[in-house]
């Protein structure tokens, strides 16, 4: 059985102090929960402080991005080992906002997945189609391309912990959620595609998160689908109350 993972992506919100305040409020709300994994991904400057505040809890720390080199003259970049030193266990890679605004490509995603794996971080690789691509009937070819290219040259042994987040771009921050059937269909496709590429053992054990306007009101119906193993939550992860209600889906 796959253990559910509920992950919060704080994007460019929250200073270190605001993040610590959140973590202190979240802790009692999720105390004792161990049948699902929980992760929060603050912006880089807040990683260490939020990681410290989450230490007594079972909530893991994640980063929103990384660079693939170990160190060097790369102004503005953050190396995998720096994330590890801040206490990160997860790293989000290839979020659609990075693809859309910061030139992230399937090739940079691939390099980052390799770097994450080498550093012992769990990559949360994001894939998803735009509204135009969906309307043109291109959803599966796009997912196929993003997964094939993003995982090229990697082998199943490297990817035992891999998490894929299916985030239809048209559902991120828009209030539009994919229907549970649309989400399940895409998740099923992703799992069978990964099975073809890397084998069914990896694919059956791999967690696939849904992302796109997840809220306390829709998490339970999403989690009832057989191939949805958790959620990557943006807006609703910014308040301890809404995030904890998502974590406590039943």
Least distance in angstroms from the C-beta of 212 to ligand PEP: 5
Query: What are the backbone dihedrals phi and psi of residue 227, each rounded to the nearest 5 degrees, phi first?
Result: -105, 10
Q: Does 167 bind ligand PEP (CB under 6 A)?
A: yes
Q: For residue 53, how far is the Cα from the chain centroid?
A: 21
80 vs 235, which CB is nearer to ligand PEP?
235
Least distance in angstroms from the C-beta of 22 to ligand PEP: 16
Q: Does 9 bind ligand PEP (CB under 6 A)?
A: yes
- From the CB of residue 20, how many other CB atoms can be counted at a distance below 10 Å? 19
Q: Does 163 bind ligand PEP (CB under 6 A)?
A: no
Least distance in angstroms from the C-beta of 83 to ligand PEP: 18
Burial annotation 112-130 (CB, 10 A radius, 16+ → b, else e): bbbbbbebebbbbbbbbbb
Decide if 48 is catalytic.
Answer: no
125 vs 214, which CB is nearer to ligand PEP?
214
Q: Does 212 bind ligand PEP (CB under 6 A)?
A: yes
Which one of 104, 129, 167, 193 is the catalytic residue? 167
Which tokens go with 139?
């959803």
Find residue 209's DSSP bridge partners.
165
Q: Which of 115, 159, 232, 247 binds ligand PEP (CB under 6 A)?
A: 232
Which tokens go with 198?
């890397």
Which tokens go with 122?
């769990």
Q: Does 173 bind ligand PEP (CB under 6 A)?
A: yes
Least distance in angstroms from the C-beta of 250 to ligand PEP: 20
Q: Does 211 bind ligand PEP (CB under 6 A)?
A: yes
Decide if 167 is catalytic.
Answer: yes
Find residue 88's DSSP bridge partners.
61
Dist CA 129 CA 17 (whole Å): 35
> Active-site residues: which are they?
95, 167
């Amino acid at each position: 059985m796959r253990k559910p993972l509920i992950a919060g992506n704080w994007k460019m919100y929250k200073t270190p102090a605001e993040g610590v305040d959140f973590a202190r409020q979240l802790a009692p709300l999720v105390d004792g929960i161990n049948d699902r994994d929980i992760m929060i991904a603050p912006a880089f400057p807040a990683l260490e402080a939020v990681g410290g505040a989450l230490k007594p809890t079972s909530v893991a720390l994640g980063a929103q991005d990384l660079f693939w080199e170990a160190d060097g003259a790369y102004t503005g970049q953050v190396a995998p080992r720096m994330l590890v030193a801040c206490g990160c266990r997860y790293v989000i890679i290839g979020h659609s906002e990075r693809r859309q605004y910061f030139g992230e490509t399937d090739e940079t995603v691939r390099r980052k997945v390799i770097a994450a794996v080498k550093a012992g971080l769990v990559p949360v690789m994001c894939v998803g189609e735009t509204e135009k691509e969906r309307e043109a009937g291109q959803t599966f070819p796009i997912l196929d391309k993003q997964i094939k290219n993003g995982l090229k040259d990697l082998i199943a042994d490297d990817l035992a912990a891999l998490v894929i987040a299916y985030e239809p771009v048209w559902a991120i921050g828009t209030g539009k959620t994919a229907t549970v059937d649309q989400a399940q269909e895409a998740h099923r496709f992703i799992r069978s595609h990964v099975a073809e590429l890397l084998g069914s053992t990896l694919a059956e054990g791999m967690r696939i998160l849904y992302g796109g306007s997840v809220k306390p009101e829709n998490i339970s119906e999403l989690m009832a689908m057989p191939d949805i193993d958790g959620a990557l939550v943006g807006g609703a992860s910014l308040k301890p109350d809404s995030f904890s209600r998502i974590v406590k889906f039943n």
